[in-house]
Amino acid sequence: MVELSVQTFNEKVNSLIGQTGDFRLTEIWNRCHAHLKPFDEFLPLPDTQYKTCPLCHSDRAIEVVAHLGFGADYWAENGLVRYCCECGEYALPDERYQDYAAQALLWAQHHGCKTDYSQLQRVDARLWWTTPKVLSIEPTTKCNFSCWYCVGRHVKQEDISLEDFAKVLEHFPSLEAVVLVGQGEPIMNQAFFPMVRLAKQRHLRVLSVSNGSTFSTSNVQKICESGIDYISISIDSINPDTFAESRCDGNLQQVLRGIKRLSSYRDEHGYKYPVLGIKGTLFNHTKDQLVDIIQLAKEHGIDILEFFQPLNRKKSYVDIYPEDKKGLVEEFDEVQEIINKGYEMNILPTADDFSACENIPLSKGRPNGLRKNCDEEWMYSLVSGDVIPCCQLTAPVDTNWNLINNPIDSILMDKHYERTRFNLFNGLFPPYCEGCYQTR
């Protein structure tokens, strides 16, 4: 490469400041990762998110994030690149390219580099979380409750076998924690405890969720002896009738007795685990019960406040709600405000406190600086072993993303998987995300 004097560096910086002309980035982008591109169809963005294309001048350009490489080793991190939905080109407006290139030249001069750093040579748009260590996998879609708002009651009722679960663990050697949760009651899978033991034999942290109705004396003993680290129990109301209305076939007193039975057995027999958490779904008519629910749960042995949520507004969920219940989603913001205030009372330690104390990675990823996005650190798998982008999907997206049949690395490097993660990281949501809180 040509060595540059200090004078030449200064001349290049000055020339960049006065330079005009937009930078066409498409060739470099495609050379680095042609498959990383916005979906042909994504949920509408606000008008303010659309920009003018520097090349064809249409008003259908959107910005995505990428690291921009200049010279041998300088990266302008989190650079904003325009992609035009009209002409399909990637570009940098002239003033933006000038700024990035000038920064590269000044960096090179400061570090005593004598080669030309004024030219953009490479891009890297793989900015999403690429090293998952937590897998949330569905043990079963079967449940002994019939909650009217649960999408799990509208999917095929089945279990994952112990053999298939073992294959999943074999295919995921970097795994540190497994979460046994899905659209059903996990303990209803007769292989639940063998699955926990198998995971613990691999020195994995094991977490799960329950409706609390299955905590019989024998199951309580099995839970404590299995070494499961955490179980979250769902309670929607302190009123037995209201509880039974939303959690059809649910018995609040049975759940509370089960929680007390589990926490007492754990403490009396000297077990540290499982730590017990509380979560639930609140409605406008139950939102004022939040503090009472948390207090009641604490009195029965709950250790952690995991989270409460309003009724899910995701379209695929709303589609299965009874007609007389669909209007409840309009109360989402009001209910969420009450939930946020309840958190501020610090009645119980939070899930974040638990994950930090136990060193279990539960981060939701990082923002992109552009718009709301989805950068899940966890991986999610259906009972079939099919990896899905988030826990709110109930059908496979791509059959190549199957952990029973394929090692984790082949899924992470799959071009369709990478393109999906690229779009989600940049807040370009596919139609199946419609209504999700992450998109709002």
Give domain status of residue 431, yes or no.
no
Domain boundary among 97, 124, 151: 124
Is the domain of 38 the same as that of 180? no
Is the domain of 61 the same as that of 187? no
Is the domain of 174 the same as that of 290? yes
Give dist(CA 436, CA 434) in Å, integer: 6
Closest alpha carbon to 416 in 432, 430, 405, 400: 400
What is the C-alpha end-to-end distance of the chain, expressed in Å? 48
Closest alpha carbon to 70 in 92, 100, 45: 100
Is the domain of 322 the same as that of 379? yes
Give domain status of residue 430, yes or no.
no
pLDDT range class, residue 196, cuts 50, 70, 90: very high
Is the domain of 152 the same as that of 10? no
Q: pLDDT per residue over 333-376, tens digit each?
A: 999 999 999 999 999 999 999 999 999 887 778 899 999 999 98
Is the domain of 112 the same as that of 152? no
Give domain status of residue 76, yes or no.
yes
Is 14 a residue whose pLDDT tops 80?
no
Give dist(CA 337, CA 131) in Å, integer: 34
- Those residues whose C-beta lies under 8 Å from the C-beta of residue 131, and which sit 6 or more positions away, are 174
Per-chain mean pLDDT for the chain: 93
Per-residue burial over 318-338, b = 16 or more CB atoms within 10 Å of its CB, e = otherwise: bebbeeeeeebbebbeebbeb
Only one residue has tokens 């809180």, namely 437
Only one residue has tokens 């981060």, namely 363
Per-residue burial over 30-44, b = 16 or more CB atoms within 10 Å of its CB, e = otherwise: eebbeebbbeeebbe
Give domain status of residue 439, yes or no.
no
Residue 45 neighbours by CB distance under 10 Å: 14
CA distances from 400 to 407, 412, 413, 418, 419 (A): 10, 11, 11, 12, 14
Q: pLDDT per residue over 30-82, tens digit each?
A: 999 999 999 999 999 999 999 999 999 999 999 999 999 999 899 999 999 99
Give domain status of residue 1, yes or no.
no
SS3 323: helix
Angle, alpha carbons 127-306-338 (nearest 5°):
100
Is the domain of 385 the same as that of 334? yes
Give dist(CA 348, CA 351) in Å, integer: 10
Q: pLDDT per residue over 299-320, tens digit each?
A: 999 999 999 999 999 999 999 9
- What does the pLDDT read at residue 440? 82
In this structure, what token pair is assigned to residue 394? 């109930």
Is 404 a residue whose pLDDT tops 80?
yes
Q: pLDDT per residue over 248-282, tens digit each?
A: 878 999 999 999 999 999 999 999 999 999 999 99
Query: Dihedrals φ, ψ of 317, to 5°?
Result: -80, -50
Give dist(CA 175, CA 167) in Å, integer: 13
pLDDT range class, residue 194, cuts 50, 70, 90: very high
- What does the pLDDT read at residue 99? 93
Is the domain of 151 the same as that of 117? no
Is the domain of 79 the same as that of 184? no
Is the domain of 185 the same as that of 153? yes
Is the domain of 160 the same as that of 82? no
Tally the domains of the chain. 2
Q: Which element (helix H / strand E) includes 217?
A: helix 217-226
Q: What percentage of the chain has pLDDT greater than the value 70?
A: 95
Domain boundary among 94, 124, 154: 124
Is the domain of 157 the same as that of 294? yes
- What does the pLDDT read at residue 118? 86
Domain region containing 42: 6-124
Give domain status of residue 12, yes or no.
yes
Only one residue has tokens 């007390």, namely 260
Domain holding 235: CATH number? 3.20.20.70
Whole-model pTM: value is: 0.92
Give domain status of residue 16, yes or no.
yes
Give domain status of residue 434, yes or no.
no
